[in-house]
Structure 1
Amino acid sequence: MKKLFTPFEKGSLKLKNHLVMAPMTRSRAIGNLPNELMAIYYAQRSGAGLIVTEGTSPSPEGLGYPRIPGIYSEAQVAGWKKVTDAVHQNGSKIFLQLMHTGRISNVANLPDGLQPVGPSNIKAAGEIFTDSLGMQEHSVPVALTQEGITRVIADFVNASKNAILAGFDGVELHGANGYLLEQFLNPNVNNREDKYGGNIINRSRLTLEITEAIAAAIGPDKVGIRFSPFSQLSDQGAYDTEEVHQTYTCLSSELDKLGIAYIHISTNPEIPEKTYKAIREVFTNTIIICNGLTPETAEEKLLDNSADLVAFGRGFLANPDFISRIEKNVPQNDVDFSTLYSSGEAGYTDYPLYTSK
């Protein structure tokens, strides 16, 4: 049997196999509330040893996109409880991804009276979809004050506690894709002159303070984080290659000291091998690798010990029985890109299971 399909155990993380369903925004949370349709979607895909949910906002100001779920109200906790119950029935674990979009937002996507925030007041280039106005430019963010940063940390901690109340096995901090945590890491976006800006230590401070506070609240074994070194998504822009390398090596080393469960690396072609090796060397707990994998290359990553777990996105998106399909080596459904972010079951819960002819 391939290692992909065998049980996994490292530290306190115990899974029925080595396969992870990657987080994917699907925009089905009407009114920002998790619902029955979402419970069906995740339950269909609970062949995965670990599911990481779509990005979920820890606070109203983090709701950058239309119809993304939150985890800051009692109603949202109750909605998510339906999801976790459904997933646990099939023996899978599920972590909630906490995603504060920061400057990648428009006021039309936020509750009345709120504005997007960021490390600085640097507006992101490009546009974002809104349900009420269609495509709109990103709004100019309000630079977070020290009081605002303290509030953001408290929001993440409260959201993590709510996640545990909702039955999640842990939370994953979204530190990739140009959202709030990565905005602080990147000097092109963060021009602060206080203790949260400037050198690598200062730019890493918010990520580490949030992680440490959450670990203290729910336990470090229930905390993971997602990174994508060298990514330029969301108008981040490139910065010095060695500085990027040192940023993520330093961060990974400090996170290891906190004893968190895993680092989830969203790969891209710009990441040099030395950065993967450095993270692997300084971080002793679980490493998850995601993006561009095939079942064959995923198996190789597990066998050569460059990853402990492997994550797939599109495969799970279009194939509720993805694990069964790769185990049997049968064809997979194609992704319907026209329904990725629509609001109903089409292209969400209606992908067919494989039946031999």
Structure 2
Amino acid sequence: MKDLFDSCDFGDLKLNSRIVRTGLWESQREPSGNFTPEIYDRYESIAASGVGLIITEVISLYPHDVFSKYTHTINFNRFVREAKDLTDLVHVYDVPIFAQLGFVQYNKRTEQNMKSENLSIDDIRKIQTDFIIAAQKIGYAGFDGIQIALGNNYFLSRFINPAFNSRNDKYGGNTLNRLRIVLEIIKVIKQNTSLHINCRLNAFDESSDGMTIDETIEIAKLLEKHGADSLQITRPRSPQFFTRNTENNPLIDATEKIIEEVDIPVILGGGARNQNKVNDLLNETNIDYISMQRPFVADPSFLVDWQIKGDGESFCQACNNCYWKKTSTCHLKPCSPEYYKNSE
């Protein structure tokens, strides 16, 4: 039987458990971009808790992106030095760590929030070059891998989506063409770094003529063929999609279908908060890895209690205040009678 605390392989990496901590954004940085003591403390708590893999909060490719004020940017001039301290700290616990990289808007001088069809070939080359340079910085900083944000509502998720990409050149039209911008990035990163490449990918969306599970499967197969080492499956409007009462997660069925079609590790994204349910899911499906984000916001060390109790449940109430208020802290935990009652 599978257990969430199994030691397991993840491509060429060794994991201490099947749980992947995934990030959203980093609001505890200093205004100048510096990593704060709170960030280092939180990552150490997560690494020491029994987690298998850590994926950072998103690191913005561009300093003036829509979310850059809530998170780090790769262009912070001390990023490599301070991130190296972070990865060294995580590696003390034999936990691999990936840097999540993405952006929401592409802005060029007076042209703001450009759409896919408005990008020139030079613009596409600029984006690709920026990703490749960022990947090299990520490698210098000691990360084990990079997660390319192709999911949720990040720019590249729209570029590869037929509902948003109306280009009629080699970067538009069929699935391969729409994905070409990413495949070319992956090729060059593979040639110039030793980073594990993970792609965060939407399983489906609600857009008319948008992403379906069949389209996503085709994209997943192309990503694998062209060098991606693993996938994380999510969807737009995540984590709002997951509530405390969610029992039937449609991502489970979608993730299983993707797993059947590729030979690289696939992570189920979001919605898990109960230890017994996680183990049931692992043993009732072909899913081997499950990611969590908000439970680690509520308590970075919750997996320690799970290992001790054997039937743990995260305090996280799925209220999404840590999302809507764009912070890295739980707004319920300090004042919750339930929290103090359970802590006795």
8 Å contact from structure 2 (residues 33, 76) kept in 1: no
Counting aligned pairs with the same residue, the percent is 25
Q: Aligned to 2:255, which of 262, 273, 276?
A: 276
CA distance in 2, matches of 1:9, 1:253: 21
Please tell me the residue identity of whatever aligns with 2:218: C
Are the structure 2 counterparts of residues 346 and 320 from structure 1 closer, same or farther at C-alpha, using a change threshold of 3 Å? closer
Q: Aligned to 1:333, which of 315, 329, 333?
A: 315
Are the structure 2 counterparts of residues 44 and 263 from structure 1 closer, same or farther at C-alpha, using a change threshold of 3 Å? same
Q: 1:187 Cα shift? A: 2.4
Q: Which runs of 5+ in 2 are unaligned?
A: 236-240, 242-248
Which deviates more from structure 2 when the two are superposed, residues 163-172 or residues 277-286?
Answer: 277-286
Q: Does residue 21 of the first structure (1) align with residue 21 of the second (2)?
A: yes
Q: Which runs of 5+ in 1 are unaligned?
A: 121-142
8 Å contact from structure 1 (residues 72, 158) kept in 2: no
8 Å contact from structure 1 (residues 319, 353) kept in 2: no
Which deviates more from structure 2 when the two are superposed, residues 292-301 or residues 282-291?
Answer: 292-301
Q: Aligned to 1:163, which of 138, 142, 145?
A: 138
Are the structure 2 counterparts of residues 184 and 23 from structure 1 closer, same or farther at C-alpha, using a change threshold of 3 Å? same
Partner of 2:116: 119
Are the structure 2 counterparts of residues 81 and 52 from structure 1 closer, same or farther at C-alpha, using a change threshold of 3 Å? same
After superposition, the CA RMSD in angstroms is 3.1
Are the structure 2 counterparts of residues 145 and 345 from structure 1 closer, same or farther at C-alpha, using a change threshold of 3 Å? closer
Q: Aligned to 1:297, which of 277, 284, 288?
A: 277
Q: How does 1:51-62 map to 2 (within 5 A)?
A: 51-60=54-63, 62=65
Q: Does residue 64 of the first structure (1) align with residue 67 of the second (2)?
A: yes
Which deviates more from structure 2 when the two are superposed, residues 145-154 or residues 27-36?
Answer: 27-36
Partner of 1:133: none
Q: 1:284 Cα shift? A: 0.5
Q: 1:95 Cα shift? A: 0.4
Partner of 1:288: 267
Partner of 1:60: helix, strand, or coil? coil
Partner of 1:45: 46
User: Structure 1 length as normaliser, TM-score?
Assistant: 0.78
Partner of 1:4: helix, strand, or coil? coil
CA distance in 1, matches of 2:222, 2:146: 18
Q: 1:345 Cα shift? A: 8.0
CA distance in 1, matches of 2:178, 2:226: 18
Please tell me the residue identity of whatever aligns with 2:32: G
CA distance in 1, matches of 2:323, 2:251: 27
Q: 1:114 Cα shift? A: 7.8
8 Å contact from structure 1 (residues 321, 353) kept in 2: no
Partner of 2:198: 224
Please tell me the residue identity of whatever aligns with 2:276: E
Are the structure 2 counterparts of residues 200 and 339 from structure 1 closer, same or farther at C-alpha, using a change threshold of 3 Å? closer
CA distance in 1, matches of 2:256, 2:2: 24
Partner of 2:304: 324
Partner of 2:224: 256
Superposed CA offset, 1:162-204 (max 9, x none): 1111111111111111211111122222222221122222212
CA distance in 2, matches of 1:102, 1:345: 22
Q: 1:209 Cα shift? A: 1.8
Partner of 2:238: none
Q: Aligned to 1:181, which of 153, 156, 178?
A: 156
Q: Aligned to 2:168, which of 193, 200, 206?
A: 193
CA distance in 2, matches of 1:353, 1:70: 37
Partner of 2:97: helix, strand, or coil? strand
Please tell me the residue identity of whatever aligns with 2:231: I
Q: 1:316 Cα shift? A: 1.1
User: Structure 2 length as normaliser, TM-score?
Assistant: 0.81
8 Å contact from structure 2 (residues 25, 328) kept in 1: no
8 Å contact from structure 1 (residues 256, 282) kept in 2: no
Q: Does residue 12 of the first structure (1) align with residue 12 of the second (2)?
A: yes
CA distance in 2, matches of 1:53, 1:310: 15
8 Å contact from structure 2 (residues 171, 180) kept in 1: yes
CA distance in 1, matches of 2:330, 2:341: 16
Q: 1:157 Cα shift? A: 0.9
